Structure formats: C-alpha cells, structure tokens
Chain A
Amino acid sequence: MQLFMKNVLAASATLWLGLAAGGHADTPVTYTQAGQALFRFDVPDFWMLRTGGMRDIEDTQLGDTRAVARVMGLRPVTDDKVWMGFVSPTGVATIRDGVRYLQDIDKFLVNDPQVTSTSDMSIGGRPAKVIRGTGRRDGRGVSFTATVIDLPRDRVAVSVAVIRDGADPAYADELNAVYASFRPLQ
C-alpha cells in the first residue's frame, strides 16, 4: 500500500510538472541581416526552424555567383505538408517591387499557379499585400499565400506559406498565428 501511494504521488507530481513545462509560449525569432534586426515572429511549439543566412550560390549553367539573402523556413516537426518561409531580399524596397519579385514564383515554389485573390491588409502594423492561390508541386495540389510586408528603411519582408492538399486545415491557424506575431523592428 505504501509503495502504491509513493508511486501515485510520484506520478502525479511528474504529471503536474510536465503539464507546467508543456505550457511554454512560442519561441520568438529575429530576422537579422548584417547585424541589423529587421523583423521578428514567433515559431509555434513543435515546429522546426531553418535559419539559413547570407550566402553565394551559383547556377552551374550560368556560371554566375550571386549573393542570396537569408531565408528562414519553418514547418511542423511531424508533418511536411505545410511550409512557410521568410526572406528580406536586398534591394527590394517597396511592396510593388516585392510583388514583382514574387512574379517568378511559378518557376520555383509552385507549378501552374492560379491566383485566387489579392488583398491589402496590415501585418504587424505595416501595410502588406497578400496574394492567395493554388498550384501544384511534385504532382500534388497545393494552396499558397504569398505576402509582401512593408518594413521601415526601404525594406520589405517576403513570405510564402504553402499548404499541400490533404493537410490538416488547423495548420492555417498556426500559420496565421505566425503572421499575428510578426513585428517590424527599427
């Protein structure tokens, strides 16, 4: 009986402590370039973040090395049907430029894109252009949301969220929570 009580006590204490630890908030992340903080957002719990960084890449056919800005990519740990990325491309200063920057999205992120809606909204207190659409990737249907967010000092943040067909619709809430946590930094 005594041993049973001990076990019960220990199990309950572990459970409570585990629950308390499980109540962590999301993880704040800051996008920086050359030591300058541009914006921040929260990574949801149990999502992976790939931070990347400034680097030079080269198309072997062109033989032209070019500098590429930091790309931050995030996705749920246990599900690859959802992906979201952020980049603040160098030299893209306005939302209009950002939209032009995204015009070639069909060559890379999504095949046969069909834009279903375009809207202006505010994200993190800054004006933003949101382009929603559908397309295909690796033979599967996807829906995408491309966003250009105006930042201080002639910068923009470009973000793309992709949800593959068949993904849990609840992921849209988590993606929107990331946008809700988005804050530009001075």
Chain B
Amino acid sequence: MSIKRRLSEFGSKVQHLFKGGGDVALEKQKKRGKLTARERVDEILDNDSFLETDLFVEHSSTDFGMDRKKLAGDGVITGYGKIDSRPVAIYAQDFTVAGGSLGKAHAAKIVKVMDGAGTKKIPLIGINDSGGARIQEGVDSLYGYGEIFLRNTTFSGVVPQLSIILGPCAGGAVYSPALTDFVFVVEKISNMFITGPQVIKTVLGEDVSPEVLGGAKTHTTVTGNAHFYAKTECEAFKQVKRLLSFLPANCLEAPPAAKPMPPVKSISDNVIPDNRRKAYDVTDIIKGLVDNSDFMQVHEHYARNIVVGFARMDGKPIGVIANQPRYLAGVLDVNASDKAARFIRFCDAFGISLLTLVDTPGYLPGVDQEHAGVIRHGAKLLYSYSEATVPKVTIILRKAYGGAYIAMCSRHLGASTVIAWPTAEIAVMGAEGAANIVFRKEINASDDPEATRQAKIQEYEDKFANPYVAASKGYVDILTEPHKTRDIVIKAFEFAGEQDHGNSFRRHGNIPL
C-alpha cells in the first residue's frame, strides 16, 4: 500500500470515528437540546488543548450479534486537556454510540484516563451521558463499573474528581459520580436514579416523571446528590471552570493563589440586626470579608440553613462554612451536618483553609430529626472539624449556643483562632430557655410569674449573652468589630499553619456515616 493510500485510509477512519454514532444519532442528540460528546469536550477545554487517547479502541464481545457491531471509540471519548492552562484528565460518554452504554472496552478507556489522572496528579472530569451497562456484554460491564468505582475511591482525596451529568445516569452507573467530589447537573438534561420511573411504575404502581424522580432540581434541592445546578450545559461548564480556579491539582500542591483583592463592599459595624431574633443573609457578610466579594456556593439550594463554598482571602483559596440565620434560623439538622461535614473533609483533603462563621441557635427540634438520626449525622460535623488539620479560623457573629457552639469549629475542636464580635452570645443556651430552667423556682413562686420571668431573662441575658465570659476563659482568642475583621482573619490564617494530630500511625479514623 502506498504512503498516500495509507494516509487517506487513516484520514477516513478518523473522520468516521469522529462522527460517533453517525449523523442521524448526532442530530437526535441535538434535538434533545444536548451538545454532542465531542462538542462538550471542546467547550470545556482550552482551545486546541485536547489530546485524545484510545480513539481506535474497539470492543471484543461476540454475543448477541455484537461481533458485527462496530462502536466508534466504544462510546466514550477520553484524553487530556487544559482548563485555564492547567492540565486535567477528561472522559465524555457518547450517547450517540449504543446509548453511551458501558462495556468492557468503554470502561477500560475510562480506567486508563483515571489512572492517568492519578499518576500525573491532575483533576479528573467525567461527563456522564449513558443508558447504563451494555447488557450484551453481561458481567464484563459490571466488572467495568467496579474498576471505575475502585479508582474513584483510591484517588479520592488525591486529585479533585468532578462529574458532570449530561444525560441519563442510572442504576449502578450513578455510583461513580456519587463517589466523586462534586456533581454538576443541568435542567431538563440530567437524570440520576438507581431505579428508573419505568421500574417504579411496574413494581410499585407509583407514577413519577424522570425529572421529579431524579432531575436536576430534585438532586440539588431534595437529595443533595448534586452540588451545582445549571440551566444550560455551557453554564455548567463555566461553573466547572470557576470551581477548578479554587482547587489545587492534587493534595500535594498548594491551592492556586491569585492577586489579593479587597471586597467590593466591606462590612459595616451594624451588619447584625439590633433584634437578636431577626434574620439576615449571612452571604452578605461572607462577601464583605472575601477577596473581590467572590464567593462560590456549593450545595446552594440544599440544606440552606448552612452555607458552604469557596472564596479567597489575601489571594489564597479558603473554604467557608456559615450558619444561615435567614433559613430555619440557621439551626443545625441532619442535612446541614452532612453538607458541611463533606465540604470540610474535601477542604482538609486538599489543604484548603477553613473559615467558619457562627450564628446558630442550636439543633432543630422534632421527632422527624431525631428519627432521621440527627445524633449520628450531627456527629459528622464534630468529627470533620476535629479531624481537619488545615488552618481553621472561626468568627462568632452572634448566637453560639450549646452543642452547636462546640460543633461550629470552636476552640475546643481545634480551631486555630477564634474571633468574636461584640454582638456574639456564647452561652449554653438562649436566655429564655436558660432563665426558665435556672430560675424555675423563683418564677413559679412569684406573685407575677410573667414579670419575674422577663426580669430573669434580662438578668441572664445581661450576664451571659455576650462574648466576654468565653473570652475571659480564653475560649475566644480575639474580640473585634466587623470592619476590622477581614484584616485579622488574614493575619490569623497567615500565622495558623498546618496542625499535627500526632496520629499518623493510625490507618484511618472511623467517621460516623
């Protein structure tokens, strides 16, 4: 064969493979409002940075007529590329090729690029758009999933792993995204469930749409399985890029610093409402503290009583955890504890310092919470903060009561520095509850119990609803006004340093799950 023919043969093979499932299938994909796998890779990566691997991989299954079926790239595009000039490993399942179904070769391609991410120590980005296991390949496809799950787990805490769900992701397949650090979903495009609507209808007679069962809104508001909600695929890609800008490529590298910037709007000293029962939006305070007021929330729409996300101070990335008085008065509950604990552990794994803002009245009372295991779930928050060795700075804005005070990165759980505002109330509980217990006898014996109760509440409040008792015992390191806080936090982080728990001999702790 002449060189010329060889080259033209190669060219036409590549052209064919680039078409994935062919023109008709690609058209169908677009009609569903979805980009094609190749467009997605191009969209998310820097221009011309994609280095594709394994384009010519083919499956070797022979059952059910598979020997006569050629599947372009075996239904997945894999390789490496750059996002904002930083290397990443990437795979994108191609729904136009056999429904993006996962067989042995498909899985092997993903596994190869995962191993690449692990050895090169760069983030892994997975784009999921697949009907699930390739049934014709039987247990080989299950083997494939298992190999992926194993790597998701072994690389957890080594490199950041992001999953973008851009199509169906059902059955066992959902466990790969679930094992990764962050899951992105898009309205009307993403669907995740273990058992789909069809099966639920057949077996249980329950009628539910894929969107309600496991759509983007459901997973970002109800289940918490997904962290970021977007209206379009391109919006999701922008979120991915923004998130990566805060993250190091791996656990050995320092998080990427940027040019320090002042907040767009600084905090005024009367940011906390006069009435301590009044709500306010804690994100306003966060934006008043961090560089350029740039704060990227994680799990924005889930367990809104706690706010978590990434920002920068003095150019260095930090993870922020804050009670949100605007929602459920900022109580801790099952979902808030889970949300914060997972975020804290991510930050600790990747050397991202933690800034905690405290304004919480305590735990949400109720049978539902107790029966849902708020003891076990709440324990995760204590565990995560105690375990974290990154610099931990805590600011007590207002209420820090009882067990919730301890849980929110108190000095006692190993905070590097605890700062409190003059509005802080660090106490075993709110004045009303405490007065009713401490002064019960006096109140009951009084001629005017209500007047006595009010007097006793005032007495308790005057004595304990402040930061001075805690500060006098050294539980608070620094008292300051809101407008000076940013500078103090920056200094506190600067002086904090990595902690050493002296237990590196242990295999691992046993976080309550």
A associates with B:
no
Q: Which residues does A use to contact B, with CB under 8 Å?
A: none
